[in-house]
Structure 1
Amino acid sequence: MKILAWSGPRNLSTAMMYAFGNRPDFEVMDEPFYAAYLATTGLDHPMRDAILASQPTDPVAVAALCRKPPKIHSYQKHMAHHMLPDFPLGWASGAVHLHLIRHPARVIASYGAKRDDISESDIAFAAQASLYDRVGGLVIDTADLRDDPAKMLAKLCSEVGISFDPAMLSWSGGGHSADGIWASHWYNAAHASTGFAGPEGPLPAVDRDDLLQAALPFYTAMKARALQV
């Protein structure tokens, strides 16, 4: 089985990769299209040169890596906006598609703490909605995941036809061997964690109402499809 997990940034995507990476029957992969995305778009992201040197930049070569059968099961963490319209997607046929979503106010506040000059394409709500229209799949609102990780993960496992493993609820601090080279910039909180954080508090105030209003319709539409426990 392959689970392809799609999200924008700051959506608990790394924590979910760690949860599956802590199962003995899963191997995990961290954002394999990141270098190809940067090479194609020319965007200047933190650690750009190191990222380009760490992964293949040809999307066809990356697709071949993602298509390889896993030893047992595979959980692949992908950013929705990395899958540019001209990139091949046939490699994803037959996989389980999982979409992680989070309220855009939380995403904007979290992403803005790491990078200036945010655009809508950076937080990827439109890209994720477009990808969902192409591939379908399951949706999890990460607020629900944080409210009750055991129940939500058990629900997800049931939906995809595997047994729930309590090992998914905790992991060793310090990161995972599959972390991308960019982890030193982006994964500080994930590296300090040993499990899912508790329920989130009130929505943060954001100073980018333009981004919030652009993202909210996509989030609301995806939220209506989210798994319920």
Structure 2
Amino acid sequence: MSTQGRQPLRVAMWSGPRNISTAMMRSWENRGDCAVSDEPLYAAYLAATGLDHPGREEIIAHGDTDFERVAAALATGPAPDGQPIWYQKHMTHHLLPGHDSSWVRSLVNVFLIRDPAEVVESYLKSRATVEPPDIGLLQQAALFDVVATSQGHAPPVIDADDFLRAPGAYLQALCDRLGIAFTERMLAWPAGPRESDGIWAPHWYDAVWKSTAFEPWRARSPQLSGHALAVAEACRPAYEALRAHRLVLP
């Protein structure tokens, strides 16, 4: 695949936090023909919301806080290093109300979902509180509808629980859907940090830095109560709506 005379394939993977999104980014970067961008809207999100996230000031100083400029580059700019595939790891909660979402039509959009109870349980291990917008499922469902309406059919959806049972088969199916070749290189990668990691990586990527492949699937039984349970249940209809369109292996 060559970029001469044509635009790169821009694969936007829309996820929420506490999913397998960073491992998925590792997988794509290890192809050898793919550049990756790690949450390119994060600095703009923090600057606009004023939220206090770990490394906030460093993230804002290191990134571009102009949402429209970043979005335009992602939609129409050249891929890093001139690669033919440009994988963009996005968090849907970085899309704030009032932001123009028309630029996503220039991307090949894929949605990575996870059961909200599992997300909330994991989220609260590193954050003191959680609200429905924090885990991105409501925003995922809204963006999914925008993309599906604009292109006339549902975009690909991957459920993390399904995926971890058979990563190779799901990556093969996704690559087929996107019209690109699957490679076994997507199933394993060297441990350690990458230059492509966001500046926030020391706060969040310890497990990924130690990893060399996707984690083995295991059954999970989140134990939530009170407000945490209410948050998960508030997001469950959005999760189920997206899950109805998930990629299912034959």
Q: TM-score, normalised by structure 1?
A: 0.96
Q: Does residue 125 in structure 1 map to residue 143 in structure 2? A: no
Question: SS of the residue aligned with 1:93?
Answer: helix
* Structure 1 contact 119–211 (Cα < 8 Å) conserved: yes
Match in the other structure for 1:215:
235
Please say if residues 15 and 90 of structure 2, whose CA atoms lie closer than 8 Å, have aligned partners that are also in contact: yes
Instruction: Summarize deviations over 1:22-58 as a string: whole Å, max 9, x none.
Output: 0111000000110101111111111111111110101
Structure 1 unaligned blocks of 5 or more: none
Deviation per residue, 1:131-185 (Å, 9 max, x gap): 1111132100011110000000000000000010100001111132211011111
Aligned to 2:202: 184
Deviation at 1:89, TM superposition (A): 2.8
Number of residues of Structure 1 aligned to a counterpart in Structure 2: 229
Q: In angstroms, what is the RMSD of aligned CA positions?
A: 1.2
CA contact (8 A) 2:118 2:220 kept: no
Q: Distance in 2 between matches of 1:211 and 1:174?
A: 34
Does the 8 Å contact 2:92/2:136 carry over to 1?
yes
- Are the equivalent residues in 1 in contact too, given 2:15–2:112 (CA < 8 A)? yes
Structure 2: stretches of 5+ with no match in the other structure:
1-8, 149-154
State the TM-score, normalized to the length of structure 2: 0.88
> Is the CA contact (8 Å cut-off) linking 1:158 and 1:164 kept in structure 2?
yes
Worse overlay, 38-47 or 14-23: 38-47
> Is residue 104 of structure 1 aligned with residue 104 of structure 2?
no
Letter aligned with residue 205 of structure 1: Q
1:40-79 to structure 2, matched below 5 A, reads: 40-67=48-75, 68-70=77-79, 71=82, 72-79=84-91
SS in 1 for 2:87: strand
Moved more, 191-200 or 150-159: 191-200
One-letter code aligned to 1:226? R
Please state if 1:155 is matched with 2:173. Answer: yes
Q: Which runs of structure 1 show a deviation greater than 2 angstroms over 4 or more consecutive aligned residues?
A: 85-94
